[in-house]
Chain A
Amino acid sequence: MVKKFLMNLFKKLNFNPFSRKSHVKLGLYGPPNGGKSTLANRVCEDWLGESMSSVSHVAHETREIKIKEQVSIKNKKGKELTFSLVDTPGIATKIDYEDFLKRGIKKVEAKKRAKEATKGVIDSIKWLDDMDCVVVVLDSTKDPYSQVNITIIGNLQARKIPVLIAANKIDLKKSNIDVIKAAFPQYPIVGISAKYGKNVEDFYEDLFKLAK
C-alpha cells in the first residue's frame, strides 16, 4: 500500500526512482582534432549503417553540435543500450583564422570558419549540463596535460557526470596511452583507433559500464 502510494506520488511528480533512465545523452567531448567526429561516425556506421559528421585534418571541422537520436548498441551478452549521441565542437582557448590560412583555406572562408568555431566552443560548454555521460576523446599521440583537457574533465567531475576517456589514434606510432593513464588515473581509459575500428569492442563494453 505504501509502495502504491509512493508510485502514485512519483507519477504525479513525473519522477520514478524505480525505473532506469530511458533516454541517455552521451556526449563526445575533447580538444579539436582528437577524433570525436571520427568516433561518432564509427559508432553510427557500426550500429546504424550511416555516418554522422564530416571529418577533416583541419581543426574545428565540427563547429556545431550534432545529435544522432536512438543509437542502440548491443554487448556480448546481448544487452542493449540506447542513447542519443552528441558530437560536439572541439574545446579550445584560442582560435586564429590565420591558422586556417596556413591549411590552404581562403581568407574569407578562414575568418568565417574561425567565427563559427568560437561559437562552437561556447555551445559545447553550454551543453555540458545536458549530458548524462561523456566520452572524452583525446589524441593519444599528444601531451594530455593541457589545461583544456583538465578543465573539461574537471567540469564533468564537478557536475557529477560519468566520464570515459577514449585514448584515440592508437594505430599511430607516437601513441602513448600510459601518459594519459598517468595524467587521469581516476578515470577509466580505453585505447582505440576510431578511424580503423581497432579495439572498439572494448570501447562499446565500457559504454555499458559508463551508462549504468
Chain B
Amino acid sequence: MVTFQFVPYHDIDKLSSVKRINKLLNIVKEDKIVLMEGRLKKEEEADLIEITMEEINSKFKGIELSVVYPDKKKQDVMNKIKGVMTNILLGNRQGMTIIGPANIVKRIEQNPDKIELFTKEINNSNNNNQKQNNSKRSNSKKKKRKK
C-alpha cells in the first residue's frame, strides 16, 4: 500500500526554509509520498537535496522529487495576471510538489503535460510496480502493471 499525504500551503507558509524542508522530509521518512500545494523556492529545492544527502543512511536512500507547474506560455494574459496576484497575496500556491521516498518511488517521469509516478511495493516478492498517471489537465488515473 502506498500512502499519500497532502500538505496544504498554509501548513508551511509561515515556516522558515529549514523547518519547511524538515517537515516535508520527516513525512517522507515515514514512507509517505508528499503532495504539497505550491512549490518550494529554487534555493529551497537545492537545500532539500542537500539536507536529503546529509540524512541518507542504510534505511533512508533519498527522495524522488517532481514539481508540476502551470506552463506560463500556455496561459492567456488574464490567467498570468491572476497567477501573479495570487502569488503576491497568498504566496506561491500554484502547482504541486511531489516528494517520495526513494525506497518506494522508483522514478517520476515528467514532461510538460503529465507526470508519471512509478512506485515499487516494498512487501511484495513479485516486485509489482504501480504506475500512477497524473494529468495536469484533467483526472488522474492509476494503472497497475507487473514486471
Contacts and interface: CB of A to CB of B under 8 A. Distances in A.
Q: Do A and B bind each other?
A: yes
Interface of A: 91-96, 114, 118-119, 121-122, 125-126, 128, 143, 145-148, 150-151, 154-155, 157-158
B38 interface: no
Chain B residues touching A, majority SS: mixed
B50 interface: yes
B63 A93 contact: yes
Contacts of A122: 50, 53-54
Given A125-B49, A147-B108, A155 B43 contact: yes
B24 interface: no
Contact of A94 (B45, B54, B64): B64
Given A122-B54, A147-B67, A147-B108, A155 B46 contact: yes
B72 to A, nearest CB: 12
Contacts, number: 72
Given A95-B53, A125-B49, A147 B66 contact: yes
Interface residues of B, number: 24
B75 to A, nearest CB: 16
B62 A155 contact: no
Nearest to B110: A145
Contacts of B45: 147, 151, 154-155
Interface string B41-75: 11101100110111010000111111100000000
Contact of B42 (A94, A96, A119, A151): A151
24 contacts: A92-B49, A93-B62, A93-B63, A94-B62, A94-B63, A94-B64, A95-B56, A95-B61, A96-B61, A118-B53, A118-B56, A119-B53, A121-B50, A122-B54, A125-B46, A125-B49, A128-B46, A145-B111, A147-B66, A147-B108, A148-B65, A151-B49, A158-B41, A158-B43
B33 interface: no
A150 B110 CA distance: 11
Contacts of B62: 92-96
Given A93-B102, A96-B102, A147 B110 contact: yes
Contact of A150 (B52, B56, B67): B67
